Amino acid sequence: MYKFYTRKLGVSERLCHKIWLIMRLTTVILIASLIQVSAATFAQRITLNQRNTPLESVFKEIRKQSGYDFFYDGKAIKPNQRVSISVTDVSVEDALRSVLKDLPFTYEINDNRITIRKKEEPSFLDKVKPAFDPIDVHGRVVDESNKPVAGATVKTKDGKQATLTDVQGVFILKNVNEGTEMLISFIGYNPKEVLAAKDLEIIQLQVATSKLDEVQIQAYSITSRRLSTSNISTIKAKDIENQPVNNPMLALTGRIPGLQIAQTNGMPGSSINIKIQGLNSINAGNAPFYVLNGVPYISQSLPTTNGGPLNTLGNIPGEGGSINPLSFINPNDIESIDILKDADATAIYGSRAANGAILITTKSGKAGKLKADFNAQSGWGQVTSRMKLLNTEQYLIMRREAKANDNAGLGSTDYDLNGAWGNINQYTDWQKVLLGHTSNYKNFNGNLSGGSQTVSFLIGGFYRYENSVFSENLSDRKGGVNLNLNTNSSNKKFKLSFTANYLADQNKLPRLDLTSTALTLAPNAPGLYNPDGTLNWQLNSSGASTFLNPLVNITSPYRANSQSLVSSSNISYQIIPELRILSNFGYNRLQIDEYSPAPSSTVPPADRVIYTRVADFSNSAQSSWIVEPQLQFNKHIEKIGIDFLVGSTLQRTSGIGQTIHGSGFISDQTMESLLNAQNITIENDVYNKYSYNALFGKLNLNIDDTYILNFSARRDGSSRFGTNNLFHNFAAAGAAWIFSNENLVKDNLKFLSFGKIRLSYGTSGNDQIPDYSTLSLFQAAPGTYQDAKGVYVNSLANPYLQWEETTKISFGLDLGFFNDRLLLNGNYARNRSSNQLLGYSLPAMTGFSSITSNFPAKIQNTSLEFSLNSTNIKRQRFHWTTNLNVTIGRNKLLEFPNLSQSSYANTLIIGQPISIQRLYKFHGVDPSTGEYTFLDKSGNITTSPNYSTDQISFFDNTPRFYGGFQNSLTFGNLTLDVFFQFVKQKGVDLGMGGISIPGAKRMNQPLYVLDRWQKPGDQASVQRFNSNSALLGTYFNMKGSDAVIGDASYIRLKNIALGYELPLKYAQRLGVSQMKVTVSAQNILTFTNYKGLDPESGAYSLPPLKLIALGINISL
C-alpha cells in the first residue's frame, strides 16, 4: 500500500510537535511584546516645544503629560522667570534636566511626586576650588530619535581617559579637568566633540555621512570601514531598490570588488553563479556562506527530479536541476548586504565560510510614530540581442549544396525540401515568433512600522508577478509576509528581537528554454498553429507528423509550488555594563511540490492511440535549525578598547524528497491525481541529515583608534567526516594601522584625511561534500525474490575523510583625501586550498567507479581589488558622486602529486587554472578537400587528432578582470543613477557553425557559415556543407577545438534609475508624508564582439532581458 503526498509533503508527528512548540513560543513572544506595547503606551514620555514660557506653565505641562505632582516654594520662582525648551519623546528626568538647565534649581523624584528646590549658594571657597580640581563628567548619549546609544566610546581627546555608555546611554568619566576636549563616537554615527563639564546632559549623535563610518555587519559583531581590519564590502538598500531584480544577488553584479556574479539565463529568477575571490575547490563546492539576520540560510541547492523550469532550477534541458534558495528572498525587504572575503572576516564562521560569506540584513522597525510605506512597480521586458541567421533563400542554397556535395537526392524525411511542409520558399523569423514577445513584471510592497523606546515593529507583505517572453500564460507568482519585532525592558538590560519571512511561489514557467529552437528551426518550417487554434503537426497524406512543434515544450502544464519560511530571534541580557549574555535562534524551511505531466497532446496525433500518459509527482524539502549562545565582554581601559566574544553553535539540517511516477491515465484531464493512474511506482526516495557543532572565540583590541588587532578561533565539528576527523581547528588574525592619526602625517600631509594599512592571515575549511560519504550506503534492489525485497551497496565507505583547508593572506590599503571626498581602496589576497576532496577512480572489478577521498593537491587564487569613491560636487541642491571598482583575479593548480597517473590527468594541468579546458589546435579548412584540419602534438596537420595526446590548446573562461562604474547625481528633488558593468574574458561562441553541422536537414545556421569551402583552392573558414555523417567527425573535432573560442568581453549599461520626490507641501496636499516616482531600467545596452546571443548567458541561452519599470513610493 502506498502513501501519496501529492498536495503537500508528509510531516512526521515529531516534526508536528516541534512546529507546535515553535508556534507556542512565537505566541508567548507576541503576547509579551503586546504587553510591552501596552506598557509603553502609558510610559511617562514627554514632548515639549515651549518658547519664552513661564517656568510654572512648563511644570503644569509636564504634570499634564506625566501625571506627576510638583511641590515647590512659590516665592522662590519669580513670575517673570521664563524658559525655552524643545524635546521629543524623552523621559521625565531628561525633560526636567533640560528645563532647569542654567537655573538655580534642582529636583528630586519620589514615586509620582517631583520636588523642586533652590540650589544652595556656594561659598567663595567653593566657587574657586572647582577651577583647580578634576571633575566627574556625566552625560547621556542618544541618537537622532532620542534612543539611547549603548556602547558608545566617550574619551578625552588625548585618549588617556575613556569609558563606554551603558544600556541607557549614560556615562560617567571621572577625574577630568573641566574644559578638556572630549570625543564621543559610535559605529555608524559621526563623532562629536564636546568640552568637559559636570553635566553634559543629552548628547545627540548624527548618522554617519562619511562612507568610512557607515555600519558594516561582520561575524557576530558590527564595525565600520574606518575601524575594520578585514576586507568587507557593503551595499545598501538604496542601490538594491533601484534595480528591478527578483534575486537580491543580481543587484550586486559588478558593484563589489572580488565578487563575480554571472546570470546563466534570462528567464525570471534563473540560477546565477556566485564566486568570491575565485575557485578554492576542484570538486567540493565553491558557494559562499549565506547568513540572513545573523542566522545561516539554507544555501545548499534543493534537488529536483523532474527537471523543472529554468527560472527556478537553472537546469540543462532534459535533466534535473536544483533550486536557488536566494530567489526566495524579497529584495525590497533587505536593508544591507555585506560581503566578507578574507580570513579575518570569515574564519570565525569556520568551515562554512571557506569561500567567503554574504551577510543579508533585512529591514527592521524603528521607534517613532506609526508609519506606512507602499511601493508599486510595473514594467516590461524584451530580448534585445538577435543573431544574424540564414533567410529562406540562403538556407535552401545551403541545403541543396550539401546534397550536391554528398551526391544525394531528396529523401523522404527532407521535409524542408520535398514539399511536405508546403511552400518551401516561405519565411518565418523564428527569433521574433518565439522570443519576440514582451514579458510583464509587477511588484507590490507594503509595510507598517513604528513603536516606542521599548517596543518597535515592522510588518509587511509583497506580491510579485513575472511571465516569460515565450508566452504570457507562462508565469511565476510570488507572495509573502514579513515580521520584525524588537523589544527591551525599561532598564534596557533585556533585549529581544524576532524576525520571520514567509514566501509562497507558484511557478508555471516552461521546463525548457526555446532559445536554441528559435536559432536552429528552419526558416521555411510550417506555422505553429492550425486555423482552429490547435498545435500544427503538419501531417502528411498518411496522417504522420512531419513537424515536431516546439510549443509542446511550453504547453505541457508543468507546475512547481514552493514555500519558504525563514525565522530568527536574538535574546540578550546585560549582566553588568561590561558583560552581556545573548543567543541567536533560527529555523528555516524550504519546500517544493512539483507536478510534471506528459499528456497525449504533447505527441503527434497518429501516436496518441498507442501513447501511454505519464506524470511525475515530486516533493522535496529542507529544514534547518540553529542555536548560538554567546558571551560578550566590552571594556575601555585608558586608550585600549577591548571586545571579547565566546560562543558555540549547534546546527541541524535535514532534507527529504520523493518522486512518484504514475502511468496509464485514461485522459489528459484526469492526470492531476495519482488515483487515476493504472500503474504507480516510487522512483526516488531520499533522506539526508547534517549535523554541525562548533566552539568559537573572538578578541578585538582598539588602541586609541589607531592600532587595531583582531583575533578569532573556531573548532568545528561536521557529521560529513569520519569519527577520527570529526573536528578541526581554524583561526585568523588581523591588524590595522590608521597612520593618518599619527602627528607626523597630520602635520605634513594636510590633504590626506584618512590612511590605513590592513593585514590578515588565517585558515578556514570546507565540508561541502555529500552527506554520508564516510559510510557505505545501501539501496533497495528492483524486483523481489521469493516475495522479499533485496538491497545492494550503492557506495563505498571512507571513514578517513578529512577537511579541505584554505589558508588566506590579505593586505589592504585605504586612503581618504580632501576630508574623505575621495576614497581609494586597494586589496591583495592570496588563498591556497589543500587536501582536496575528490573522487578517486576505482578498478571496474570493485563494482564502483569511484570513492570520495582526500588528494594532496593545492590550489592558489590571487586577487587584486581596487575601488574608488568620489564626491565630485557637494552643494546644497546638487550632489554628484562616482564609484569605480576593478578586480583582477588569477587561479592555478600549484601541486597535484602523481597527476599523470590519476583520472584527472586529462582535465587538470599544474600551473594552469582548475577551470581549464583542453582543446584541439585548429588549423583551418584544407583548401584541397574542404575539411577541417588540426595540429597534433608534433605540429603535423591532421583531420583526426588523438583525444589523449593532441589536446594541446587550453581555454579558461575565468575573467581577466571585471568591475563596475557608477555615477549618482542629485539635483533638488531629482535623482539619477547610472551604472555600467564590464568584463574582460574569453568564451565559447558559435565557431564555424551552430548546434548541428551546416547542411543538416531542418536546421538553420548563423549567417557567417556562407564563408564555406565550395571548390578546390578555396580559402574558407567553414568546411564544405554536408547533409550526412561523412564530415561529422571533423565537425565535432572543430567544436572541441580552439576554433570555438572567441572574445566574450562586454560593457553593459546595467542599470539606470531616475527618481523624483514630490516637494513636501504638495505631498501633504495629497494626504501623504512622502511621495516619489521612479523609472528604472535593467540591461539596457551591451557592447560586445561576442558571436553568440549574449556573452554572459552564452550562445544558445535566453539573454538577460532588458527590463523597464515604472514605480511609485508613498509614505503615510
State which H helix or E strand residue 239 sits in: helix 237-241
| Start-to-end C-alpha separation, the chain | 58
- Residue-level pLDDT at 5: 35
pLDDT at 66 (0 to 100): 83
pLDDT for res 42: 37
CA dist 1048 and 1045 (Å) reads 9
Quick one: pLDDT band at residue 186, thresholds 50, 70, 90? confident
Q: How far is CA 1115 from the centre of its chain?
A: 27
pLDDT in tens, 464-505: 999 989 876 788 999 999 999 999 888 888 999 999 999 999
**What residue ranges in 468-578 does DSSP mark as E strands?**
475-488, 494-507, 559-576
pLDDT of residue 106: 85
Looking at the predicted structure, is the pLDDT value of residue 322 above 60? no
Give the model confidence (pLDDT) of 709-729 as tens digits. 999 999 999 988 888 888 999
Query: How would residue 325 be classed by pLDDT, with cut points 50, 70 and 90?
Result: low
CA 853 vs CA 794, 857, 905: distances in Å: 17, 12, 17
Average pLDDT, the chain: 87
Question: Residue 149: inside a domain, yes or no?
Answer: yes
pLDDT band at 839 (very low <50, low <70, confident <90, very high): confident
- 650 pLDDT above the threshold of 90: yes
Q: How far apart are CA 601 and CA 780, in angstroms?
A: 35
Residue 1: pLDDT band by 50, 70, 90 thresholds? very low
Whether 15 shows a pLDDT value over 90: the answer reads: no
Tell whether the model's pLDDT for residue 310 goes beyond 50.
Answer: no
Alpha-carbon dihedral of residues 402, 403, 405, 406, nearest 10 degrees?
120
Angle, alpha carbons 695-696-702 (nearest 5°): 165
- Residue pointed to by grid coordinates 563505498: 796
Mean pLDDT of 244-263: 92
> Per the domain annotation, does 32 fall within a domain?
no
Tell me: pLDDT of 462 over 80: yes
Please give the share of the chain, as a percent, with pLDDT higher than 90.
52
Q: Tell me if 220 is assigned to some domain.
A: no
The whole-number pLDDT of residue 769 equals 81
Among candidates 401, 77, 345, 322, which has minimal Cα distance to 231?
A: 345
Cα separation, 775 vs 689, in Å, equals 13
Rounded distance between C-alpha atoms, residue 662 and residue 643, angstroms:
61
The answer to whether residue 402 is domain-embedded is no
In the prediction, which pLDDT does 130 show?
54
Evaluate if residue 986 carries a pLDDT over 50: yes
Residue 421: count of CB within 10 angstroms of its CB: 21
Helix ranges (H only) for 521-641 are: 552-555
How many of the other CB atoms lie within 10 Å of CB of 198? 12
Mean pLDDT calculated for residue range 975-999: 87
Per-residue pLDDT band at 299 (split at 50, 70, 90): low
For the segment 738-765, the average pLDDT, to the nearest whole number, is 93
- With CA atoms as reference, report the closest residue to 1063 among 974, 1001, 1002, 981: 974
| C-alpha distances out from residue 911 to 25, 804, 908, 916, Å | 56, 20, 9, 10
pLDDT band for position 123 (50/70/90)? low
Residue 1018 maps to a domain: no
Closest by Cα among 1051, 1082, 1097 to 245: 1082
The whole-number pLDDT of residue 23 equals: 44
Q: How would residue 16 be classed by pLDDT, with cut points 50, 70 and 90?
A: very low
- At 82 the pLDDT is 85
In-domain check, residue 472: no
Give 920's pLDDT tier (boundaries 50, 70, 90).
very high
And the C-alpha cell for 703?
A: 588602541
- Provide the residue type at 591 as one letter: Q
For residue 602, the 8-state DSSP code is G
Site of grid cell 514632548? 47
The arithmetic mean of pLDDT across residues 966-974, rounded, is: 95
Range of the domain at 151: 134-208
Q: Per the domain annotation, does 740 fall within a domain?
A: no
CB 1075 within 8 A of CB 375: no
Q: What CA–CA distance (Å, rounded) separates 430 from 515?
A: 10
**Given a cut of 60, is residue 320 above it in pLDDT?**
no
CA-wise closest residue to 738 among 644, 820, 830: 820
Residue 461 contacts residue 480 (beta carbons within 8 Å): yes
Output the CA–CA distances (angstroms, integers) from residue 967 to 255, 868, 880, 978, in the order listed. 12, 12, 7, 5
> What contacts 258, CB < 8 A, 6 or more positions away?
231, 233, 276, 277, 339, 341, 827, 829, 863, 865, 887, 889
pLDDT at 313: 34
pLDDT digits (tens, 9 = 90+) for 804-836: 899 999 999 999 999 899 999 999 999 999 999
- CATH, residue 180: 2.60.40.1120
Distance of CA 735 to CAs 324, 443, 700, Å? Answer: 36, 45, 10
Cα 336 from Cα 1041, distance rounded (Å): 45
Number of H helices, E strands in the chain: 15, 56
Q: How far apart are CA 764 and CA 767, in angstroms?
A: 10
Amino acid sitting at position 256? I
CB 645 within 8 A of CB 630: yes
**Taking residues 304-324, what's their average pLDDT?**
38
Q: 345-354, 372-381, 757-766: which range is least confident on average?
A: 345-354
| CB-CB contact of 116 with 180 (8 Å) | no
Judge contact between 186 and 178, C-beta under 8 A.
Answer: no
pLDDT-based confidence at 1033, cuts 50/70/90?
very high
Percent of the chain at pLDDT > 70 equals: 92
- What total of structural domains would you count in the chain? 1
- Grouping H, G, I as helix, E, B as strand and the rest as coil, residue 752 is strand
Strands (E), 363-421: 368-382
Inside any domain, residue 175: yes
Which pTM does this prediction carry? 0.83
Q: For residue 806, which of 765, 846, 772 has the smallest C-alpha distance? A: 765
Contacts of 958 (CB under 8 A, 6+ apart): 278, 889, 890, 891, 913, 915, 985
In eight-state DSSP terms, residue 878 is E
Query: How high is the pLDDT of residue 43?
Result: 46
Query: What's residue 323's pLDDT?
Result: 52
- Residue 1051: pLDDT above 90? yes
